[in-house]
Amino acid sequence: MPEFLLTIIRSVIAFMLLMVMTRIMGKKQLSQLTFFDYCVGITIGSIASALAIDQNIKISNGIVGLIILGVFPVLLAYGGLKSIKFRKITDGTPSILIENGKVLERNLFKSKVAIDELMLFLREKNIFKVTDVEMAILETNGQLSVMKKSDQQPLTPKQLGLTVNAEHGPAIVIMDGKLMDKSLSSLGYSKEWLLGEIGKQGASTYEDVFLAQIDSNGNVFVDLYNDNLQQHKVKQKPLLAASLKKVQADLESFSQQTNNPEAKKMYSQQAANLQTTIESILPYLK
Question: How far apart are the C-alpha atoms of 60 and 156, rounded to whole Å?
Answer: 59
pLDDT band at 103 (very low <50, low <70, confident <90, very high): very high
Q: Give me the percent of the chain exceeding a pLDDT of 90.
A: 12
Domain borders along the chain are 3-89, 95-152, 167-233, 235-286
pLDDT value for 145: 92
**Contact between 29 and 41 (Cβ < 8 Å):** yes
Residue that wins the pLDDT comparison between 21 and 229: 21
What average pLDDT is seen over the chain? Answer: 80
Element (H, E) at 39: helix 35-53
Q: DSSP letter at 28?
A: G
CA distance 197 to 106: 61
| Adjacency order of strands within the sheet including 102-103 | 102-103, 95-99, 133-138, 144-148
What average pLDDT does range 229-234 have in this prediction? 52
Q: What was the pLDDT predicted at 247?
A: 83
Identify the CA nearest to 231 among candidates 196, 197, 209, 199. 199
Mean pLDDT calculated for residue range 221-225: 87
Q: Return the number of other C-beta atoms located less than 10 Å from residue 62's C-beta.
A: 20
- Judged against a pLDDT cut of 60, whether residue 126 lies above it is answered with yes
Q: What is the pLDDT of residues 171-203, one digit of tens each?
A: 899 998 899 888 888 887 888 788 888 888 888
Give dist(CA 69, CA 79) in Å, integer.
16
The pLDDT value recorded for residue 9 is: 78
Question: Which CATH fold topology does 95-152 show?
Answer: CRO Repressor (3.30.240)
Burial of 188 (0-12, 13-18, 19+ CB in 10 A): middle
167-233 and 95-152 share a CATH fold: yes
Average pLDDT over residues 203-207: 85
Q: Say which residue, 122 or 57, is predicted with more confidence.
A: 122
First-to-final CA distance of the chain:
74
Nearest partner of 148 among 130, 170, 166, 173, judged by Cα: 130
The mean pLDDT of 118-136, rounded to a whole number, is: 91
In the prediction, which pLDDT does 33 show? 60
- Assess whether pLDDT exceeds 90 at residue 230: no
pLDDT tens-place string over residues 58-93: 878 878 887 787 777 778 777 877 888 877 777 778
pLDDT recorded at residue 68? 80
Q: What's the fold here for domain 167-233?
A: CRO Repressor (3.30.240)
The pLDDT tens digits for 146-165 are 999 888 888 777 777 777 66
**pLDDT beyond 70 at 7:** yes
| Percentage, residues of the chain above pLDDT 70 | 84
At residue 236, the pLDDT reads 54
- Asked whether the predicted pLDDT for residue 237 surpasses 70, the reply is no
Is the pLDDT confidence value at 169 over 80? no
* CB-based contacts of 187, cutoff 8 Å, min separation 6: 171, 173, 214
Q: For residue 258, name the pLDDT band (cuts at 50, 70, 90).
A: confident
